[in-house]
Amino acid sequence: MVAMSGGVDSSLAAALLKEQGFEVMGATMRLWRPPADRREGGEEGRKNLPDPAEDARRAAETLAIPFYVFDFIQPFYERVVQYFIDEYKRGRTPNPCVVCNKRVKFDLFIEKARNLGAELVATGHYARLSYNEEEGRYLLLKAHDKKKDQTYFLYNLSQRQLQHILFPLGHYRKEETRRLAAAYGLEAANKPESQEICFIPGNDYKEFLRREGKAKEEPGPIYDTEGNLLGRHKGITNYTIGQRKGLGLALGKPVYVLEINPCTNSLVVGGEEDNSFHGLYAEKLNFIAGKAPEQVLEAGIKIRYNAAETKGLLYPVVDGRARVEFPQPLKAVTTGQSVVFYLGEEVLGGGIISKAIK
């Protein structure tokens, strides 16, 4: 069963697997109902809205494979959207794609696919899998195309899940993907990539949190690191750690959001020197091998998807938390974001940043 979004990557994944001799089915997850579709008369309004499943359905027809639509709207809201809202209200900056992969795409989707008789699930993620015979376990590896590598979003996968997963695009570069998709006659070959979170059109977080999260835009104080009042903010959900623009402060030098305190409805800002951190603590950890390293380990560290990987020391887990130290300070280490640990090409695991260390 291939998880098909209608984009070029998942469409080609289905085509490649069919050519390799697999009996392939496709399915789209319906995850989100736009607000206009929820109002009275929404059924009528839906006729004028693009159906994200239609592109996937046409790809399935081109490939002559069975196609399904899985309605995950309710669990997606409960497991992903509500998490996103709650984290922002806590003054943190969540990554909903990481949570969706953990709690929907590689949980509910696998369960639904297996109920329909599928033995394996495939996606269009740029990642690779390998099986280590000596250790008797699966390895999650970076894609060959390092610019498109998506293992950052997959660190929550378990050995139980990996035995049912295929990543057909792990050895391809994006330009090869488009060329092959065109050769297979797939309409999605030239479809532009979406850079948005699927449930936030236009990436307008502020409007989304106002509408869905009933976020109160209650103004509050902005302090410097010494506790001096510098100005007023427009509501804490409008800000993220490391933000520089839009603070409404004229101090003669750039300042950055260092802390968001929902209990006091306040922000703390500081200069360039205050926005650098020598380490972090991470919680809600997962290690692909099923167990955490027992010794201090020099690992590759990524604190954001688009951040460059840097070297760091990963310390053994204590009380459910891992400590990471950087030899050179990093900017804008953001609570709520994921940190992912690598050993060369291999993904060791990761967790949620709970605290930045000065």
User: Within the chain, how many helices (H) and strands (E) appear?
Assistant: 10, 17
Contact by Cβ (8 Å): 15, 169 = no
**Matching residue, tokens 């059924």:** 43
The 10 Å CB-count burial string (b at 16+, else e) for 193-204 is eeeebbbbeeee
**Matching residue, tokens 């695009």:** 169
Alpha-carbon dihedral sign for residues 103, 104, 110, 114: positive
Measured at the alpha carbon of residue 88, what is the angle toward residues 336 and 125, in degrees to the nearest 5? 55
C-alpha atoms less than 13 angstroms from C-alpha of 122 in its C-beta half-sphere: 24
The answer to whether residue 100 is catalytic is yes
- Please list, in sequence order, all residues whose beta carbon lies within 8 angstroms of the beta carbon of residue 333, skipping any fewer than 6 positions away: 241, 277, 280, 303, 353, 356
DSSP assignment string, 99-128? HHIIIIITTHHHHHHHHTT-S-EE---SEE
The answer to whether residue 97 is catalytic is no
DSSP helix, strand, coil percent of the chain (3-state; round to 5):
30, 30, 40
Which residue in the list 69, 198, 249, 357 is annotated as catalytic? 198
Query: Rounded to the nearest 10 degrees, what angle do helices 8-19 and 52-63 cross at?
Result: 20
Strand order in the sheet with 229-233: 229-233, 220-223, 266-270, 256-261
**Matching residue, tokens 């009528």:** 44
Which residue in the list 85, 100, 121, 288 is annotated as catalytic? 100
User: How do 256-261 and 26-30 pair as beta strands?
Assistant: unpaired
Say which amino acid occupies 232.
R
Chain-centre distance for alpha carbon 220: 30
Catalytic residue numbers read 100, 198
